[in-house]
Structure 1
């Protein structure tokens, strides 16, 4: 019991002595003592403005008004830290022993500047006892200074740090990169050899972001080395986590995982573009102090797609430079290349033209580099493609996609497609198709399902505009097409030539055509189609922008000396419901022209004989009859007037 009473008495005596020490020292002297200690340990000025008083609760310490902490000597951004007021609680007994054991620091409206110079120096790298004007030390002296700094840092302990209504700015090469206001932070670091725990909350883009982190060895972090870090971030129903090594350079290496039930809301809270629907991503990431980023074993699930990724990114330069590989079993893209639909007055659906919604091609401005893509199947909103292998090269907002392999509509497609967003959006293509099915191709791209057969084709196109409607109406280009055996639904040419116009199906042996495109209008003048007993030609225009057709299709019965009978067919109107009408007047005229000519000749001979005409050399029968009638009229008129 005596021992216990002795211990209690000693503790009480020490407590009283501590209180007396604090009361005996004015607040200004405590502040000066703290400032001197900080200067000795960090080489930076700590300044207190206004009144400095004693804080009794919850811990002994000082309460100040405005406080500032100097920036690095090379910085021109002003103080690294400043606050409207501060409460600093210290362990008085530890301070008497030469250690700075800070129990708590509470800062109101602090303003922090984190800065990285062009040569890579960071303003949070503290060097004990080195002034701004000190000369560069020799190598042994530098090693001693580093040892002293490490020793100094090991004597500083901050058990609890609280920031409210804080502002943090990140400056790189003199330019402001990030500015976060309304930030709240709490740091818990009970022992210098123990891990430190952080909790941070802020709403830089409207929605609150909350993060918690554990730093295994803060001293290693402050010395510029890497340490183990665990980070968990929550925002708008989503979360992100990182486990691995981290350094203030900045540099990192570890596992990154992201999961959100609402990808658009989660990314919007982080200031990024939205992705509708659930979002999940993971991968092993590495960031070096040379600003080189790599992703290995990456996966992304978004918009109903599951992709695997790996990438190397150079973050130096005007835009990040990417070398990436992306692969998926099935890719489904939102939206559709089909025409927009509106509702007619009668309640049915009818075509309203191409979409006039603006096309956002801003993604082309974000990165440069090369991206390789592989998919086993792609659904482009109604257009389903098969196995695809392609490479996209992006440079200064211009992307060139090279299609090395693409299974499409039962055939294959190869070629290049260019999208340029340097001065408004423009597109260009040079594509070659082999053995593609006409019916699935025309059904998917133009809502036309009357043709069957396999086609070989090559086409080029060029256009510009910020909507699909503008692109289609401004298109120019050229191409050609050849088709083997196929059919045309809705027209039976054999029956048509026999006078039956009730429809049916035409079977043809081959078809070939070429075209040009100007201002959204495709023009074809040389369609040739071979049929078992017929031949057919065609010419006309197709309005790619207006989705209209004005075409004359002319089937012909084959004769020994040429076409025996022709029945032209006019195809006019909308792509989706064209009018198909045979031109019977032209058919009759063409089919019986020889007979009509013979009848006309016989009539002329009879009139000549009756009138006693004799056509002069070079004079037609019509002119001879006319002259005869004029002369007879003159004679009659003279007789009437009494002349000779």
Structure 2
């Protein structure tokens, strides 16, 4: 028993003597110049250790380092890049006797990091990167024989002391990242980080959590991973990365986001999975996805293979209350050229599917290029909230009869949902298109079927570009209702009110189904050739109606005007003149024609026509008039000449019959202009008087020659003609 006590007493004496020797023989402040010199060599910055380095004996043997700061260059808002008030580390005793400094876990409490980018693009990290690169190049190119014969004091101290570090613990740290060039500001607080072991080629676990504000967005994040450092203490590999995040501001509420990476190594593939749910503005989302990720060995090319994202969306501002939007693509980002590319891209928004490729270059003016295609694009369903619910779309007829009557039976297709009318107080509201001044976009879109403003197109080929505030539609070719359409246009938003130009050429289009779809109007049929040349200033509803100028040249063949039978009106007028009444004709009211031409001139909120001409085997019509684009009213005069015989019109052949067309676009009215009819045709007036006198003689006999009765007859005749 005494021997055991002697042994324990001996150990205690050795430990006490060791501590006394340590405190007496080893002064930790001698490491100050070694550390400062090494930091200066590696970073080019001054490391200032203001406080003393002292021994700590409880709870473990170690060192306390006082206030320390790594300085910033001149010209930055704060003097220090990194600073802390107190650091603690534990030290193994016995290795010290062999000039080995085996440091345990380094604990930093209350550290602060300040990173700033000035308006000219300079950062307080720039020279650190340059110094590190320069040092690496020197180490890799220097030959062993190039070492100087005389080494500095720091080199000698480094050779005499071997330093190792067991781990790092960062507590209650803070970080400020200020970028004056972009206007961004990130402030991190409550930053905690632990690293089990800081040694090369050894797997060690790292854990972290932090909270902060990024440009007004408050967030918290925490995570863990295992890392493996190379011999130069740079990241070599990581595995089992788990990162969770929450974020919130006035418009954003990310309730939970989780990212996992199985195993990452430069130049090799890693599997990344993602889950997130929350709210952006008033759109709620639930997202999940995965991809294969690779970062090149030079850390310049980031590649994502088979990226897949599934998004469940809901919200009032969406085209429909609930949507499923799925994305699949391959993507890459080149750090050197700031170029992102998408290949094998496909997107499905419910039944809408788009595929293609795109690229994005992050310059001061972003450069975007794209090439997309789709089997069907229905813009109306995505721009009109009232038509958000999926409905069966009416098919465009494969063939259209020129003389087909408008559907009037109860089995007719239901009316389509109409776009909501803009409130009156928004009629003068110009859309904000300033974003067009800051992007460079060019690309093509093709679609087998395309629906816009209820018009159905097929085999669409579209090419457009946006640059320097000018949007240009260089090509729009498509099939349209058994015909074709070719269009081009330009929009300039560099002026106080945007200006536009538009050219459109329609050939061989069946006009009735087109008008029925876009205007719910079935009153005109025929095969149309239409040339449109328009320009104007302003894009508000009021400016579009009142500021547009140009022409619309219309040519229709083999068609019909529904709602009026002009020949029947003329026969009815003839019967009235003879004191007769035609039996009700239950035939469809329409006027067939072989050709119809008109040139519409737009300006000052009106569309004027002065050369309307309709030709048919029965009649020849010439007309003129005006329609108001604001209240959609019309006032037209049409002169109708009978050019055929038969059908009770023999007596009227060669006589011009004027007709007035008034009302609105949706409800026009037709009326014979009897006053002008008899002014233009004196012979017809004489025939009418003769027929009237004959009727009076049958009614009054010899009394019909009485002057009073003649005066009454003249007044009746004037009233009839006027």
* Same structural fold, with TM-score higher than 0.5 when normalized by the shorter chain: yes
**How far does residue 288 in structure 1 lie from its aligned partner after superposition?**
3.7
Do 1:47 and 1:68's aligned partners in 2 also have CA atoms closer than 8 Å?
Answer: yes
SS at match of 2:643: strand
Residue pairs, 1:292-311, within 5 angstroms: 292-302=339-349, 305-311=352-358
Residue pairs, 1:434-445, within 5 angstroms: 434-445=507-518
SS at match of 2:655: strand
Do 2:89 and 2:103's aligned partners in 1 also have CA atoms closer than 8 Å?
Answer: no
Residue pairs, 1:428-507, within 5 angstroms: 428-499=501-572, 504-507=589-592
**How far does residue 531 in structure 1 lie from its aligned partner after superposition?**
2.2
Residue pairs, 1:217-616, within 5 angstroms: 219=230, 222=234, 234=276, 236=278, 237-238=286-287, 243-245=293-295, 251-255=301-305, 257=307, 259=309, 261=311, 277-281=323-327, 282-302=329-349, 305-316=352-363, 318-333=364-379, 352=421, 356=427, 358-380=430-452, 382-423=454-495, 424-499=497-572, 504-558=589-643, 563-573=654-664, 575=665, 577-586=666-675, 588-589=677-678, 592-596=681-685
Alignment of 1:206 with 2:217, yes or no, is yes
**How far does residue 401 in structure 1 lie from its aligned partner after superposition?**
1.5
**How far does residue 566 in structure 1 lie from its aligned partner after superposition?**
0.9
Alignment of 1:179 with 2:180, yes or no, is no
Distance 1:59 1:392 in 2: 71
Do 2:84 and 2:111's aligned partners in 1 also have CA atoms closer than 8 Å?
Answer: yes
Do 2:324 and 2:350's aligned partners in 1 also have CA atoms closer than 8 Å?
Answer: yes
**How far does residue 413 in structure 1 lie from its aligned partner after superposition?**
1.3
| CA separation of 1:35 and 1:420: change in aligned 2, threshold 3 A | same
Could you list the runs of 5+ residues in structure 2 that have no partner in the other structure? 1-6, 148-154, 237-264, 279-285, 316-320, 388-417, 573-583, 646-651, 690-722
| CA separation of 1:413 and 1:39: change in aligned 2, threshold 3 A | same
| CA separation of 1:162 and 1:10: change in aligned 2, threshold 3 A | same
SS at match of 1:359: coil
| CA separation of 1:239 and 1:543: change in aligned 2, threshold 3 A | farther
**How far does residue 556 in structure 1 lie from its aligned partner after superposition?**
2.9
Between 448-457 and 542-551, the greater mean CA deviation after superposition: 542-551
SS at match of 1:364: helix
In the comparison of the two structures, how many residue pairs are matched?
A: 565
| CA separation of 1:588 and 1:481: change in aligned 2, threshold 3 A | closer
Between 459-468 and 96-105, the greater mean CA deviation after superposition: 96-105
| CA separation of 1:304 and 1:211: change in aligned 2, threshold 3 A | farther
SS at match of 2:543: helix
**How far does residue 214 in structure 1 lie from its aligned partner after superposition?**
6.2
Distance 1:256 1:177 in 2: 35
Do 1:164 and 1:182's aligned partners in 2 also have CA atoms closer than 8 Å?
Answer: no
- Among 192, 197, 203, the alignment partner of 2:200 is 192
| CA separation of 1:589 and 1:432: change in aligned 2, threshold 3 A | same
Distance 2:143 2:74 in 1: 19
SS at match of 1:293: strand
Cα deviation per residue 1:122-160 (whole Å; 9 max; x = unaligned)? 4552746989xxxx9799459999xxx9x99x9876845
SS at match of 1:498: helix
SS at match of 1:472: helix
| CA separation of 1:461 and 1:221: change in aligned 2, threshold 3 A | farther
TM-score normalised by length of structure 2 = 0.62
| CA separation of 1:597 and 1:551: change in aligned 2, threshold 3 A | same
Distance 1:176 1:54 in 2: 46
TM-score normalised by length of structure 1 = 0.69
**How far does residue 580 in structure 1 lie from its aligned partner after superposition?**
0.6
Cα deviation per residue 1:58-88 (whole Å; 9 max; x = unaligned)? 99877778754334x6985655734575655
| CA separation of 1:564 and 1:58: change in aligned 2, threshold 3 A | farther
**How far does residue 30 in structure 1 lie from its aligned partner after superposition?**
8.0
Alignment RMSD: 5.4
Distance 2:113 2:684 in 1: 104
Do 1:169 and 1:176's aligned partners in 2 also have CA atoms closer than 8 Å?
Answer: no
Do 1:214 and 1:230's aligned partners in 2 also have CA atoms closer than 8 Å?
Answer: no
Cα deviation per residue 1:397-421 (whole Å; 9 max; x = unaligned)? 2121222522233322112122222
Distance 1:323 1:61 in 2: 60
Distance 1:211 1:279 in 2: 29
**How far does residue 433 in structure 1 lie from its aligned partner after superposition?**
1.1
Distance 2:546 2:115 in 1: 54
Do 2:169 and 2:194's aligned partners in 1 also have CA atoms closer than 8 Å?
Answer: yes
Alignment of 1:125 with 2:102, yes or no, is no
Distance 2:494 2:627 in 1: 31
Residue pairs, 1:132-151, within 5 angstroms: 140-141=141-142
Do 2:619 and 2:641's aligned partners in 1 also have CA atoms closer than 8 Å?
Answer: yes
Do 1:283 and 1:296's aligned partners in 2 also have CA atoms closer than 8 Å?
Answer: yes
Distance 2:638 2:60 in 1: 97
Could you say which residue in structure 2 is the equivalent of 1:631? none
**How far does residue 595 in structure 1 lie from its aligned partner after superposition?**
4.2
**How far does residue 377 in structure 1 lie from its aligned partner after superposition?**
2.0
Do 1:49 and 1:65's aligned partners in 2 also have CA atoms closer than 8 Å?
Answer: yes
Distance 2:526 2:333 in 1: 53
**How far does residue 207 in structure 1 lie from its aligned partner after superposition?**
6.2
**How far does residue 432 in structure 1 lie from its aligned partner after superposition?**
0.9
| CA separation of 1:304 and 1:182: change in aligned 2, threshold 3 A | farther
Distance 1:383 1:86 in 2: 73
Cα deviation per residue 1:152-187 (whole Å; 9 max; x = unaligned)? 9x987684565767444365xx83463222465746
**How far does residue 245 in structure 1 lie from its aligned partner after superposition?**
0.4
